Structure 1
Amino acid sequence: METRGLRRVGAGLAAALCVLLTACSDGAETEPEPQQDEPGQVDAAGLFFGECGGVSADELMQTTGISNVRLIERNSVGCRWEDPNFFGARASFSWYRGSPIGRERALVELSGRDVFDVSMQGPNGELHGFAGRGVGICEVSIESESDFFVWSVVFDQLSPPRDMCERVEALAEMTVTRAE
């Protein structure tokens, strides 16, 4: 078929679709869309957690019991440490500004991890969040106003410590107590 023929077929399909959609309309006026926040409006920012959650590689290893990790990535919203061994331990700190913690919790629950609530005392009062425990992994997420952070540590898959989430919670507490 030549190009003109294809254009006619495409135009005909578009016209038919338009007629069909109009015919299916009940003619009732639609509800106006909900009012959205003004452009540039920002929710209250949470605490400032500092680079890498305010935790050094040595503190990370001492608190969690993992070893031989080194900082391999650092940016304005997080850090990542890894053992050079492919199957070794790894850890990350991620800071989400203006993002809902509920979505993070839903993802952790969908991953099949055991999820439980946690809270800790911050400089301006109690902060709440959750922990997600899986096979050899624990993540702790803590909310502060419209922000939250996540500490995630992957332990030795063959023999993870029984208290791995308590160790990751200790990292989160370090981050919270050092926040400004």
Structure 2
Amino acid sequence: MDARSVGGARGMLAVGVAAVAFLATACSPGGTGDGAPTATSDAEGTVLREAGLFFGECGGVSTEDLMALTGIRGVRLQERNSVGCRWEGGFFGPYASFSWYRGSPIGRERAVVELSGRGVRDVSVAGPSGELTGFAGWGRFICEVSIQSNSDFFVWSVVFAEELSDDEMCRRVLALAEATVNRAEP
């Protein structure tokens, strides 16, 4: 074995260790799953994390609402579970998803979007319980809006079949986020 292969092996080992460390922290449990506040431990002691709003199934948005607010057509609900929904409109058609993350930091989501090379900007949504903040991330044909609610956050992601401006795509996806916040329960 020559010096190049030893150095390459060390580099691969370092990448592997970093990936395992990232996955261990990204997949660590952060809540009880029942909406109750969760005690977590950090370097400064125990912190009580308050659960966010209850967003309901599919973020409180029906397939008809989704199409009306985004302008996409021909999507069907393909998957629905307690923390998300996914709509598809055929092989090359539009796609939309709602994902709800309980007890998870929104900053990690933003870092992933920024690392992917997408544009990112801060956004806010006014709702019955006050203003919630988050960010929008966009690329060609796609916009995702992530909104924080206490220790939780949700993401609306829409892939459009036609090319729209970044502002237009994100305006439509932000309308989904507003509907979700306005239909949420405390």
TM-score > 0.5, shorter chain as reference: yes
Structure 2 match to 1:51: 57
Q: Which runs of 5+ in 1 are unaligned?
A: 1-32
Aligned-partner SS, 1:172: helix
1:21-59 deviations in Å (ceiling 9; x for gaps):
xxxxxxxxxxxx94653xxx8510000101000000011
Structure 2 match to 1:98: 103
1:160 aligns with 2:163: yes
The one of 136, 139, 150 aligned to 1:131: 136
Name the CA distance, whole Å, in 1 between partners of 2:51 and 2:45: 19
Aligned-partner SS, 1:116: strand
Name the CA distance, whole Å, in 2 between partners of 1:79 and 1:143: 18
Aligned-partner SS, 1:152: strand
Structure 2 match to 1:24: none
Structure-to-structure mapping, 1:44-123, within 5 angstroms? 44-83=50-89, 85-123=90-128
Aligned-partner SS, 1:61: helix
Choose between structure 1 and 2: higher strand proportion.
Answer: 2
Name the CA distance, whole Å, in 1 between partners of 2:171 and 2:44: 43
Aligned residue pair count = 142
1:158-177 deviations in Å (ceiling 9; x for gaps):
x3222111000000000001
Structure-to-structure mapping, 1:137-156, within 5 angstroms? 137-156=142-161
Structure 1 match to 2:37: none
Aligned-partner SS, 1:99: coil
Larger Rg, first or second structure (1 or 2): 1
Name the CA distance, whole Å, in 2 between partners of 1:35 and 1:137: 39
Instruction: Measure how far apart 1:125 and its partner are.
Output: 1.2
Call closer, same or farther: CA 1:113–1:123 in 2, change over 3 Å.
same
Structure 1 moving runs of 4+ over 3 Å? 33-37
Instruction: Measure how far apart 1:77 and its partner are.
Output: 0.2
Instruction: Measure how far apart 1:87 and its partner are.
Output: 1.2
% same residue: 70
Name the CA distance, whole Å, in 2 between partners of 1:87 and 1:75: 24
